Amino acid sequence: MKYISTRGSAPELEFEDVLLAGLASDGGLYVPKELPHYSLEEIRSWRELPYSSLAFKIIQPFVGGAIDDETLQAMLDETYAGFGHKAVAPLAQLDHNEYVLELFQGPTLAFKDFALQLLGRLLDHVLTKRNERAVIIGATSGDTGSAAIEGCKHSKHIDIFIMHPHNRVSEVQRKQMTTILEDNVSNLAVEGNFDDCQGMLKACFANQDFLRGERRLVAVNSINWARIMAQIVYYFYASLNLGGPDRSMAFSVPTGNFGDIFAGYLAKKMGLPINQLIVATNQNDILHRVMSQNKYEKHPLAHTLSPSMDIVVSSNFERLLFDVYDRNGATLADLMSKLNSETVELEAERMAKVRELFDSHAVNDDVTCATIADVYQETGYLLDPHTAIGVKAARECRRDSMIPMITLGTAHPVKFADAVEKAGLSTPELPHHLQDLFEREERYEVMPNELKALQDFVASKVF
């Protein structure tokens, strides 16, 4: 399979090179040149498959022979065997035709595990094959960092550096990252916000001179195509467990960077009947403002009880816009340059096309806590703040009560004690494998919000 850049002027690449490239050389994001498409009959035939076997069916065409089938299936089996529930992504029912897809059963208790535990294995396989060593620099608003570190900490071919905004992630999120003491892992607490971290990450990819041409720089953020690819699977899995593809589904997705919900969009394009995709977001509501008002305008970052969505610029929205603008890279490159510097309205007919599938809703902290409390009182089920935003958005935006509504449960509530306690409830205990988390030794560097400081630190560690 070939991959092309959303901005049209980078070379086409195959899977291995896209895996290692992250951002395209023209500043765009890689997407498949063509998507596989499945008939309802073929999707129906997958109903009895366990998660890792279904993942093989979805992922194999994207890998395009870069990894032989037997090795790929073994990687998938190993990845999802490490999850804490035999179903891997179980469904919890809140009401008639209302469900939460529990995507927090992985080792770091967040949906990022579905992609990042696999990504670490994919990178190790390709780098071993090429006899190369790579540098990973990542930026996290909370959950990406711990999942990436968990996936890559044992690799002999990777040095990983994860930036998080200093004092702006939850204590559990921080400790899941900073208590990993392997020599190839560095945690950097940046004196800024997530967008500052993401800005420095993009600057590193734009100019890699600090690596002196001796190391490859690899992305683990959701700009890396392999992350999107892995997330497509659980849309199929949820649907098949609720009568799909013979009935359509609706999904509500807590999202800041648009990657998780873009995977749902791709699932629909690949043949899965999806009636509605709901963008659920917090006070950092740039996606909601685009969807509801057709106004793309950056506002100052607000710090909320749902920190994984405290993002001003949603990087993966570019991948959707590429399709909306008929996959015209030059047009999109011009549009993206405007989005970074001014308020932009999309053409009316383009926006109408987006709204055929997408709705959106923004939820503040008070409503988030009220939703956590209400759902617990109704069902005894405890939501984390991100999933609570998804449930509230689902209830506000639902188009058809006859169609199952599935909210993606993106994190375990134990990671967000502040929100749970402000909802008037007790934080649950940490799962068994994390029982001693608060006693573990931490190691991290507090770093100024300066690109040169970051690059000098990385260079000092790898050379």
Question: Which amino acid is residue 133, in one-letter code?
Answer: R
Bigger pLDDT: 455 vs 315: 455
pLDDT range class, residue 12, cuts 50, 70, 90? very high
Q: Please state which of the ranges 38-42, 267-271, 415-419 shows the lowest mean pLDDT.
A: 415-419
> How far is residue 360 CA from its own chain's centroid?
18
Which pLDDT does position 219 carry in this prediction? Answer: 85
Contact (CB, 8 A) for 371 and 391: yes
| Alpha-carbon distances, residue 88 vs 122, 234, 240, 367 (angstroms) | 20, 9, 14, 30
List all residues 6 or more positions away from 81 whose beta carbon is below 8 Å from its beta carbon: 52
Q: Is residue 394 included in any domain, yes or no?
A: yes
- Separation CA 140–CA 117 (nearest Å): 16
Which pLDDT does position 206 carry in this prediction? Answer: 85
Q: Is residue 370 included in any domain, yes or no?
A: yes
- Separation CA 459–CA 253 (nearest Å): 38
With pLDDT > 90 as the criterion, what percentage of the chain qualifies?
86
- Helix pair angle (69-81, 51-63), 10° resolution: 140
- Separation CA 138–CA 227 (nearest Å): 13
Asked if residue 65 has pLDDT above 80, the reply is yes
pTM score: 0.94
In tens, the pLDDT along 181-191 reads 999 999 999 99
pLDDT range class, residue 222, cuts 50, 70, 90? confident
In tens, the pLDDT along 319-362 reads 999 999 999 999 999 999 988 778 899 999 999 999 999 999 99
Q: Is residue 392 included in any domain, yes or no?
A: yes
Averaged pLDDT for residues 141-148: 86
Q: Please state which of the ranges 17-21, 285-289, 309-313, 375-379 shows the lowest mean pLDDT.
A: 309-313
pLDDT range class, residue 161, cuts 50, 70, 90? very high
| Per annotation, catalytic residue among 57, 86, 112, 415 | 112
Which pLDDT does position 64 carry in this prediction? Answer: 83
Which pLDDT does position 346 carry in this prediction? Answer: 92
Contact (CB, 8 A) for 423 and 370: yes
**Based on the structure, what is the number of domains in the chain?**
1
Averaged pLDDT for residues 201-222: 90
Averaged pLDDT for residues 435-452: 96
Active site residue 269: no
What domain range includes position 106?
A: 86-110+228-422
- Separation CA 200–CA 212 (nearest Å): 18
Averaged pLDDT for residues 402-411: 97
Averaged pLDDT for residues 284-296: 94
Q: Is residue 119 included in any domain, yes or no?
A: no
Q: Is residue 324 classed exposed, middle or buried when 0-12, 13-18 and 19+ CB atoms within 10 A define those classes?
A: middle
Asked if residue 195 has pLDDT above 90, the reply is no
30 strand-pairing partners: 5
Q: Is residue 15 included in any domain, yes or no?
A: no
Which pLDDT does position 198 carry in this prediction? Answer: 85
250 strand-pairing partners: 276, 405
Asked if residue 152 has pLDDT above 80, the reply is yes
- Separation CA 355–CA 353 (nearest Å): 5
- Separation CA 194–CA 313 (nearest Å): 10
* 3-class secondary structure, 255: coil
Q: Is residue 327 included in any domain, yes or no?
A: yes
Averaged pLDDT for residues 121-136: 94
Averaged pLDDT for residues 247-252: 98
For the chain, what's the residue count? 463
In tens, the pLDDT along 407-436 reads 999 999 999 999 999 999 998 899 888 999
The CATH number linked to 418 is 3.40.50.1100
Which pLDDT does position 242 carry in this prediction? Answer: 98
Bigger pLDDT: 222 vs 403: 403
Averaged pLDDT for residues 29-53: 97
Q: Give per-residue burial for 243-269: e unless 16+ CB within 10 Å, then b.
A: ebbeebbbbbbbbbbbbbbbbbbbbbe
Averaged pLDDT for residues 187-202: 92
Q: Is residue 385 included in any domain, yes or no?
A: yes
- Helix pair angle (144-152, 112-130), 10° resolution: 40
Q: Is residue 263 included in any domain, yes or no?
A: yes
Supply the mean pLDDT for the chain.
Answer: 95
Which pLDDT does position 143 carry in this prediction? Answer: 81
